[in-house]
Structure 1
Amino acid sequence: MALNYYIIYKPYEVLTRFTPEGNKACLADFFKVPTDVYPVGRLDYDSEGLLILTNDKALNQQLLLPRHAHEREYWVQVDGAVTETAVKELSAGVDIHVDGKLYHTRRCKASIFPEEPALPSRNPPIRFRKSIPAPWLRMVLQEGKNRQVRRMTAAVGFPTLRLVRYRIENITIEGMQSGEMKQLSREDIYRGLKLKA
């Protein structure tokens, strides 16, 4: 069986699967890949950015095992003038609810972007309000609970407006447009993810 590896920039409001659900867009509306290729992990319907598609089951298992603790970098636009105190709280870990239970997130790296990062514009764009700032944060996590980043920024008082997964280890969407796909070699993807091939 030929192994295939792709990275995509998942657009906003697209399901992380190839089968449609109701009137929601799915990956098949944007990306043409062999029928045995599936996404590794997930990215929420209302989030955008990096997703890996493959039919390599070994890669899937390695990447999703919590003990491997792969770095995932998110670029997060938040509602309101985010404070250094909030950034310190995010970095130290905050309490969020996951599956109805209280969970304290692991330490992560969080910082405020000095200026808006270079990303393709979102369609539809976030609601712009002149009187309320909407700065960007960079957050690097080594865990991925359901809707974790959104829950974390909400916990420190700054709800997420736009969420983009920019990188997993050394694989990034740098220079890619929303809805774009790149095919990678097995060697490149394993090296980029710091996995043993």
Structure 2
Amino acid sequence: MRLNQYISSSGFCSRRQAERYITAEKVLVNGEIAPHVCFIEDNDEVEVDGHTIKHTAQEIYIMLNKPSGIICTASPYIADNIIDFVSYPERIFPVGRLDKETEGLILLTNVGGVVNELMSEENNHTKEYIVVVDKKITDTFIVNLSSGVDIYNPRKKSYTRTNPCPVIQLDDYTFRMTLSQGLNRQIRRMCRNFQYTVTHLQRVRIKHIQLGSLERGQWRYLTKEEIAGLNR
């Protein structure tokens, strides 16, 4: 396995960041600075910036009902990070992210390919949310949300039009929303565009995987059927 792939599949960092570590000569293989073209064998010892990297052959797939306050990062230097919260004995990393304030379904794995598959916008995988806002919902608000909203993208310094999406009102303050995009704080920013503030946000589905009755703060392994569906 190529060195950058070995590092990224361990969950330590992305493949691109692994390349940066290699370029900076912060990667050791069997105690020596690693060259860019390097293939790792079973008995090789790899260190990145002083951290020993252990590659796990067994594929791990976990779903967590993330509570508010937990940050979706694998960095051990950030307080309240999701890795410390789950406290899994082997190296895993989150697939995508939920805002610190947002609750609900998030996947964790040690399989790098799952990240690319689920996070690629070209694949149009749907994610479903339950949203509570601070004032009564109107029919116009529902129509406007579902039709697409122009929200400002500070990185591109331009506006992005969100894709049309299903929005179903559940009660005076609550609606169900299904997205195929993953823009930063998308739902909160869409609602703010119409002078609504999100007071509670929970993701309840990713693709075919449902949060179901999993309690807040708890995690479980994906079933064989759920794992198989990730690769379709």
Which range, TM-score by smaller chain?
A: 0.7 to 0.9
2:174 to 136, 139, 147: 136
Partner SS, residue 86 of structure 2: coil
- Paired with 1:176 and 1:186, the residues of 2 have a C-alpha distance of 17
**In the alignment, which residue of structure 1 is the partner of 2:6?**
none
**In the alignment, which residue of structure 2 is the partner of 1:6?**
62
* TM-score (ref. length: structure 2): 0.70
TM-superposition CA deviations, 1:48-91 (whole Å, max 9, x none): 11100001111111111111111100111101011010100000
- Paired with 1:185 and 1:167, the residues of 2 have a C-alpha distance of 15
1:101 to 158, 167, 179: 158
1:83-98 correspondence to structure 2 within 5 Å: 83-98=138-153
Contact kept, 8 Å, 1:5 with 1:186, in 2: the verdict is no
- Larger mean CA deviation between 152-161 and 12-21 belongs to 12-21
Give the CA deviation at 1:12: 0.2
- Paired with 1:13 and 1:47, the residues of 2 have a C-alpha distance of 8
- Larger mean CA deviation between 34-43 and 72-81 belongs to 34-43
Partner SS, residue 118 of structure 2: helix
1:1-197 correspondence to structure 2 within 5 Å: 1-19=57-75, 24-99=79-154, 100-114=157-171, 135-185=173-223, 187-191=225-229, 193=230, 195-196=231-232
- Paired with 2:168 and 2:68, the residues of 1 have a C-alpha distance of 23
One-letter amino acid of the structure 1 residue matched with residue 62 of structure 2: Y
- Paired with 1:34 and 1:187, the residues of 2 have a C-alpha distance of 24
Q: Which runs of 5+ in 2 are unaligned?
A: 1-56
Higher RCO, 1 or 2 (CA under 8 Å, sep at least 6)?
1
- Paired with 2:109 and 2:196, the residues of 1 have a C-alpha distance of 35
One-letter amino acid of the structure 2 residue matched with residue 136 of structure 1: T
Give the CA deviation at 1:28: 3.5
CA RMSD, 1 decimal: 1.7
- Paired with 2:90 and 2:73, the residues of 1 have a C-alpha distance of 12
**In the alignment, which residue of structure 2 is the partner of 1:119?**
none
Contact kept, 8 Å, 2:170 with 2:176, in 1: the verdict is yes
Q: Give the structure with the higher percent helix.
A: 2
Partner SS, residue 41 of structure 1: coil
Partner SS, residue 176 of structure 2: strand
Give the CA deviation at 1:186: 5.1
- Paired with 1:167 and 1:187, the residues of 2 have a C-alpha distance of 15
Partner SS, residue 65 of structure 2: strand
Count of aligned positions: 174
- Paired with 1:37 and 1:28, the residues of 2 have a C-alpha distance of 7
